[in-house]
Structure 1
């Protein structure tokens, strides 16, 4: 009886360690940044974007978007404005870590991801929509 209980516990333990959580399953896929919102203190004015890049082709600006691609193996591909970076990520409770950056997840649903940098002075929120 003890042997059966031991093997049953062993099998369940192995399955639990290999199983992804529901949040991890939702996170896997390609996400696009749709909004970046700052909550500035009332005495700080955000800088306005200037039109100093007037010779920059406006058609190519539309291609410069931010994407995150989370994979099952714990790797992430970050595409920021056309530049690709690879790193590993980890999701634990409401903390998302990729590379050396730590974020707090505000919302994670099937089609929506919202996170902010942990302990960020300006409390910037990043809103992503799932593509795949």
Structure 2
């Protein structure tokens, strides 16, 4: 997803996207987007990690990672990593958490042109991102209602 003139003034549910500019802090690093953080954590080489953090756009971060050696265990840990990153995003940006919770109990379909693992295209795709957003939404609502207290 690309907006050559920048993100819309009122982005609505676009704030749920991993490419949306929402800096997150994980450990001692600040990442410009969830997408940047995801690709940094996927890559082995520390110099390449720094380049990915500094990438102007999430697409550039993904391209840099694609030209790099990924962690050998990345297929096993990537869903857990993404879950942690999404939790951080919505904890650190409560206004985006409100947008996510406002989706109610709706099934979330994440449109991802480049991945049928994370997204869905037509009838194809595993929609992991949509499922994780639904999980985070449920956790946020439960916390707001003190269900687990």
Band the TM-score falls in, shorter-chain normalisation? under 0.3
- Report the structure, 1 or 2, having the larger strand content: 1
Q: Which has the larger radius of gyration?
A: 1
Query: Which gives a bigger RCO, structure 1 or 2 (Cα 8 Å, sep 6+)?
Result: 1
**TM-score for both structures, normalised by structure 2:** 0.19
**TM-score for both structures, normalised by structure 1:** 0.21
- Report the structure, 1 or 2, having the larger helix content: 2
